[in-house]
Amino acid sequence: MSPRRIAIKLFANRTLGLHELQPFIAVFHRFIQQGSVPGLLIDVADYAHVPDGPGVILIGHDVDYGIDRTGGRTGLLTTRKRAGGRDLAALFRDTLGMTLATAQALEAEAQAKLGFTGAELQIAFPDRLVTPNTAEAAESVIKVLEPVVAVLFGDGARLERDAGSASDPRRMLTLRISGGDADVATLASRLEQA
């Protein structure tokens, strides 16, 4: 299975209110100007007015980053586009690397006032033709990603189909990693070994 797109949400250590999203507009513009995070970055979109929505998005050619509030939980959502012909494990590692680099850049921004936890992660597959939201596709993806997840998140981590995704076949196939034992810096160092 070789999906062309993947989305990873790294959860924040606190929930942001709508009014707390505004500083990310300036932070993301600075990231574009300084090339602070991976990818060819193009623009910033402000969706902070949407109550349970995408927040503020840093739009790129091959990757988008966003401070996402979907599902009532704040997190850094990295959506990989135009991933090429990589296999699933390589695509996951590469996208997670971009996510962790961006999370560390955001944590270093005093204006952002946001940290991230490495104990939980959400993985979604927007490419429904290649990765349909079925039990069979979920099992196939889990089988490929489990060894990588064990190295990155520790033996106690669980990789399973998200309950909300499983209950509605119209949604994207979504998996959840929980029970991890690492912070963002530790995940970044383990990623080199995975």
Segment 15-37, tens digit of pLDDT: 999 899 999 999 999 999 999 99
In a domain, 171, yes or no: yes
Q: What is the pTM of this model?
A: 0.95
Neighbour-count burial for 64-93, b at 16+ CB within 10 Å, e otherwise: bbbbbbbeeebbbbbbbbebeebebeebbb
* Helix 88-107, helix 135-153: angle, nearest 10: 50
Domain that holds residue 81: 6-191
Residues of the chain with pLDDT under 50: none
In whole angstroms, what is the distance from residue 189 CA to residue 185 CA? 6
Name 159's bridge partners.
177
Q: How many domains is the chain partitioned into structurally?
A: 1
In whole angstroms, what is the distance from residue 120 CA to residue 11 CA? 7
Segment 126-135, tens digit of pLDDT: 988 889 999 9
Q: Which of 24, 8, 185 is nearest to 104 (CA)?
A: 185
In a domain, 1, yes or no: no
